[in-house]
């Protein structure tokens, strides 16, 4: 890989979210010319170049991409996600921008509804004539941050998956994305991203307990009950249904593989659960 930071302009969609905000921090640190795409540019941190983009308003796309060399494409989960991302590809073709797409674990197999949102975009990229790279992360460790029960009562709950999962830290996704965006040699590559090990939820609970020094247990609910709890916690029904279907898809261990992508592309080992819990212990209590 050789460095290509130079004057290339990178547009980061999903700029206010988990991955986008962490990625923009890395690009700034590397001195890259990065522009954050926000529905509300007032959300941009001080000093961040920002442009208004609403993926549901295709008319905002081409103006935001003028002078842009590379687009980091991150669509938020919704039934419209595929259409939103395909609109970005159409705009990227108009301006000739390279696309680095944030996808999902095993997207090509379409095993879950989330994978089926991403797969058509990956397929469209392959035949787009554009320069492209795809990142396919496994479950984010940051999904645990939504589990307020860890702090309140030493419990967390997910739909039952007894098989291990190689959770990945959003910070590592951002590190990999920053490396891909600022070096060459990644065209036509698909990178699957995981943490350093695969853990079952009970093993994850034991790690939380060790690091936090308090009992933490995992409650695995049958699908119907898990769905009602997720919706009751404020999750949109589409999102809750998708998570249940993901659990069904990976009960056979299909989310357990561990890859060396983080180490290969960043030079540092992937962050594990213990490191994540320690970094967020103020939240988990």
Ligand X SMILES: NC(=O)c1ccc[n+]([C@@H]2O[C@H](COP(=O)([O-])OP(=O)(O)OC[C@H]3O[C@@H](n4cnc5c(N)ncnc54)[C@H](OP(=O)(O)O)[C@@H]3O)[C@@H](O)[C@H]2O)c1
State the minimum distance, in angstroms, from the CB of residue 226 to ligand X: 16
- In whole angstroms, give the CA distance from residue 214 to residue 150: 10
User: 137 or 195, CB closer to ligand X?
Assistant: 137
Q: Does 246 bind ligand X (CB under 6 A)?
A: no
Answer for which of 11, 27, 65, 75 binds ligand X (CB under 6 A) is 75
Among 255, 227, 229, CA closest to 241: 227
User: 139 or 208, CB closer to ligand X?
Assistant: 139
Task: Give the containing element (helix H, strand E) for 11.
Answer: strand 9-12
User: 4 or 76, CB closer to ligand X?
Assistant: 76
Judged by CB under 6 A, the chain residues 187 through 206 that form the site for ligand X are none
151 within 8 A of 95, measured Cβ to Cβ: no
What are 253's two structure tokens?
């261990």
Q: Does 241 bind ligand X (CB under 6 A)?
A: no
Answer for which of 5, 8, 17, 58 binds ligand X (CB under 6 A) is 17
State the minimum distance, in angstroms, from the CB of residue 44 to ligand X: 10
Among 151, 85, 171, CA closest to 124: 85
Say how many residues touch ligand X, by CB under 6 A: 25
Q: Does 48 bind ligand X (CB under 6 A)?
A: no
Q: Does 104 bind ligand X (CB under 6 A)?
A: yes
Beta strand pairing call for 132-137 and 189-193:
parallel
Beta strand pairing call for 132-137 and 98-102:
parallel
Helix-helix angle 237-249:223-232, to 10 degrees:
150
- In whole angstroms, give the CA distance from residue 112 to residue 251: 12
Q: Does 159 bind ligand X (CB under 6 A)?
A: no
126 within 8 A of 190, measured Cβ to Cβ: no
Answer for which of 9, 10, 55, 64 binds ligand X (CB under 6 A) is 55
Q: Does 82 bind ligand X (CB under 6 A)?
A: no
State the minimum distance, in angstroms, from the CB of residue 6 to ligand X: 26
Answer for which of 8, 25, 33, 39 binds ligand X (CB under 6 A) is 39
Q: Does 257 bind ligand X (CB under 6 A)?
A: no
Classified as helix, coil or strand, 234 is coil
Answer for which of 72, 132, 139, 250 binds ligand X (CB under 6 A) is 139
Q: Does 143 bind ligand X (CB under 6 A)?
A: yes
Q: Which residues pair with 207 in a beta bridge?
A: none
Residue with nearest beta carbon to ligand X: 17
- In whole angstroms, give the CA distance from residue 66 to residue 13: 14
- In whole angstroms, give the CA distance from residue 72 to residue 23: 9
Among 217, 240, 11, CA closest to 114: 240
Answer for which of 9, 12, 19, 211 binds ligand X (CB under 6 A) is 19
Q: Does 4 bind ligand X (CB under 6 A)?
A: no
Residues lying near ligand X in the complex (CB under 6 A) are found at 14-20, 39-40, 43, 53-56, 74-77, 102, 104, 114, 137, 139-140, 143
């Amino acid at each position: 890989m050789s460095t290509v930071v130079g004057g290339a302009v990178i547009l980061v969609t999903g700029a206010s979210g988990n991955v986008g905000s962490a990625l923009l921090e890395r690009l700034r640190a590397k001195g890259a010319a990065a522009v954050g795409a926000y529905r509300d540019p007032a959300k941009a941190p001080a000093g961040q170049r920002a442009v208004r983009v609403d993926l549901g308003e295709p008319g905002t796309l081409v103006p935001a991409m003028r002078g842009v060399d590379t687009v980091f494409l991150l669509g938020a989960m919704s039934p419209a996600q595929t259409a939103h991302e395909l609109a970005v590809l159409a705009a990227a073709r108009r301006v000739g921008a390279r696309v680095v797409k944030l996808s999902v674990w095993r997207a090509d197999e379409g095993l879950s509804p989330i994978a089926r949102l991403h797969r058509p975009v990956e397929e469209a990229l392959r035949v787009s004539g554009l320069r492209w790279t795809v990142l396919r992360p496994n479950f984010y460790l940051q999904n645990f941050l939504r589990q307020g029960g860890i702090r309140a009562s030493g419990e967390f709950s997910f739909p039952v998956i007894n098989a291990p999962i190689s959770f990945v830290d959003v910070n590592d996704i951002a590190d990999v994305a920053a490396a891909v965006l600022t070096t060459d040699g990644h065209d036509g590559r698909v990178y699957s991203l995981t943490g350093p090990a695969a853990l079952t939820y009970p093993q994850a609970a034991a790690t939380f307990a060790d690091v936090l020094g308090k009992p933490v247990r995992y409650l695995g609910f049958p699908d119907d009950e898990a769905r009602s709890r997720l919706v009751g916690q404020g999750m949109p029904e589409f999102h809750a249904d998708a998570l249940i279907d993901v659990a069904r898809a990976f009960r056979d261990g299909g989310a357990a593989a561990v890859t060396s992508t983080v180490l290969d592309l960043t030079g540092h080992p992937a962050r594990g659960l213990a490191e994540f819990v320690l970094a967020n212990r103020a939240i988990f209590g």
